[in-house]
Structure 1
Amino acid sequence: MINKALCLDPSDNVGVALTDLSVGEIFELNGYKGNIISDVAAKHKFALKDFSVGEDILMYGTIVGETTKNIQLGEAITLANIKHKIRDFKELGAVYEWNKPNVEHLENKTFLGYQRADGQVGTANYWLVLPMVFCENTNVKLLQDAFEKALGFAVQNPYENEVRNLVAAYQNEKFTESLSEPAISTGSKVFENIDGIRFLTHEGGCGGTRGDSDTLCALLAGYINHPNVAGATILSLGCQHAQVSILQDRLDKIQKGAKKPLVICEQQTEGTTEHLIKKAIRETFQGLVEANKFTRTPSPISKLVIGLECGGSDGFSGISANPTLGRISDLVVASGGSAILSEFPELCGAEQPIIDRCSSEEVSEKFIRLMDAYAKAAENVGSGFDMNPSPGNIKDGLLTDAIKSCGAAKKGGSAPVADVLDYTEYLKTPGLNLLCTPGNDVESTTGLAGSGANIILFSTGLGTPTGNPVCPVIKVATNDKLTSRMPDIIDFNTGGIISGEETIETCGERLLDLIIEVASGRIKTKAEEKKNFDFIPWKRGVSL
Structure 2
Amino acid sequence: MKAIYKINPKDNVVVALQDLKKGENIPADGKTITLNANIAAGHKIAIANIPEGECIVKYGFPIGTAACNIAAGDWVHTHNTKTRLGDLLDYSYEPSFKPLEPQTPRTFLGYKRKDGKVGIRNEVWIIPTVGCVNSIAKLIEEESQKFLTPELDGIYSYSHPYGCSQLSQDKRNTELALSGLIHHPNAGAVLVLGLGCENSNIDELKKVLGDYDSDRVKFLVCQEHEDEVEDAVKIVEELCRYASQFKREPCSVEHLTIGLKCGGSDGFSGITANPLVGALPDLLIAQGGTAILTEVPEMFGAETILMNRCRSKEVFDKTVDLINNFKKYFMRYNEKIDSNPSPGNKAGGITTLEDKSLGCVQKGGTAPVNDVLRYGQSVHENGLNLLQAPGNDLVASTALAVSGAHMVLFTTGRGTPFGCPVPTVKISSNSELARKKARWIDFDAGKLLTGTELSELAQELLDYVINVASGKQTTKSEAFDKRELAIFKDGVTL
Give the match for residue 218 of structure 2.
263
- Distance between the aligned counterparts of 2:282 and 2:426, measured in 1? 19
Contact 2:8–2:60 (CA<8 Å) still a contact in 1? yes
Give the match for residue 169 of structure 2.
211
Contact 1:210–1:241 (CA<8 Å) still a contact in 2? no
Cα deviation, residue 359, structure 1: 1.2
Give the match for residue 48 of structure 1.
47
Contact 2:4–2:17 (CA<8 Å) still a contact in 1? yes
1:109 maps to which of 100, 106, 114: 106
Cα deviation, residue 264, structure 1: 0.9
Give the match for residue 159 of structure 1.
none
Tell whether 2:379 aligns with 1:427.
yes
| % identical equivalent positions | 36
Q: What letter corresponds to residue 533 of structure 1 in structure 2? A: R
Matches within 5 A, 1:39-188: 39-86=38-85, 90-98=90-98, 100=100, 103=103, 107=104, 109-148=106-145, 150-151=146-147
Deviations 1:159-184 (A, max 9, x none): xxxxxxxxxxxxxxxxxxxxxxxxxx
Give the match for residue 466 of structure 1.
418
5+ residue gaps, structure 1: 152-189
Cα deviation, residue 144, structure 1: 1.7
Q: What letter corresponds to residue 301 of structure 2 in structure 1? A: G
- Aligned-partner SS, 2:76: coil
Contact 2:130–2:195 (CA<8 Å) still a contact in 1? yes
Give the match for residue 444 of structure 1.
396
Matches within 5 A, 1:264-413: 264-270=219-225, 272=226, 274=227, 276-413=228-365
- Distance between the aligned counterparts of 1:514 and 1:201, measured in 2? 29
- Distance between the aligned counterparts of 1:90 and 1:504, measured in 2? 36
Residues 452 and 108 of structure 1: CA distance in aligned 2, closer, same or farther (over 3 Å): closer
Between 402-411 and 278-287, report the one with greater CA deviation.
278-287
5+ residue gaps, structure 2: none
- Distance between the aligned counterparts of 1:348 and 1:476, measured in 2? 23
Give the match for residue 168 of structure 1.
none
Residues 380 and 33 of structure 1: CA distance in aligned 2, closer, same or farther (over 3 Å): farther
Deviations 1:463-501 (A, max 9, x none): 0001123x11111111111011100011110111122x2
Residues 260 and 213 of structure 1: CA distance in aligned 2, closer, same or farther (over 3 Å): farther
- Aligned-partner SS, 1:205: coil
1:227 maps to which of 174, 185, 189: 185
Contact 2:4–2:16 (CA<8 Å) still a contact in 1? yes
- Distance between the aligned counterparts of 2:29 and 2:89, measured in 1? 26
- Distance between the aligned counterparts of 2:96 and 2:443, measured in 1? 32
Q: What letter corresponds to residue 397 of structure 2 in structure 1? A: T
Contact 1:350–1:405 (CA<8 Å) still a contact in 2? yes
Contact 1:140–1:200 (CA<8 Å) still a contact in 2? yes
Contact 2:97–2:308 (CA<8 Å) still a contact in 1? no
Contact 2:397–2:420 (CA<8 Å) still a contact in 1? yes
Contact 2:39–2:75 (CA<8 Å) still a contact in 1? yes
Residues 32 and 240 of structure 1: CA distance in aligned 2, closer, same or farther (over 3 Å): farther
- Distance between the aligned counterparts of 1:86 and 1:318, measured in 2? 19
Contact 2:85–2:337 (CA<8 Å) still a contact in 1? no
- Distance between the aligned counterparts of 2:31 and 2:83, measured in 1? 24
Tell whether 2:7 aligns with 1:8.
yes
Q: What letter corresponds to residue 486 of structure 2 in structure 1? A: I
Cα deviation, residue 201, structure 1: 1.0
Give the match for residue 207 of structure 2.
249
Question: Normalising by structure 1, what TM-score?
Answer: 0.87
Cα deviation, residue 229, structure 1: 1.1
Deviations 1:350-381 (A, max 9, x none): 11111000112221212221221212221332
Q: What letter corresponds to residue 400 of structure 1 in structure 2? A: T
Tell whether 2:196 aligns with 1:238.
yes
- Distance between the aligned counterparts of 1:378 and 1:529, measured in 2? 37
- Distance between the aligned counterparts of 1:401 and 1:7, measured in 2? 19
Residues 101 and 45 of structure 1: CA distance in aligned 2, closer, same or farther (over 3 Å): farther
Cα deviation, residue 30, structure 1: 4.4
Contact 1:423–1:437 (CA<8 Å) still a contact in 2? yes
Q: What letter corresponds to residue 482 of structure 2 in structure 1? A: N
- Distance between the aligned counterparts of 1:455 and 1:121, measured in 2? 13
Cα deviation, residue 262, structure 1: 1.7
- Distance between the aligned counterparts of 1:316 and 1:541, measured in 2? 36
- Distance between the aligned counterparts of 1:431 and 1:29, measured in 2? 39
Give the match for residue 187 of structure 1.
none
Deviations 1:419-457 (A, max 9, x none): 011111110110000111111111111100000000211
- Distance between the aligned counterparts of 1:236 and 1:141, measured in 2? 13
* Larger Cα-atom Rg: 1
Deviations 1:222-256 (A, max 9, x none): 10111101221111122211122332222227x6x
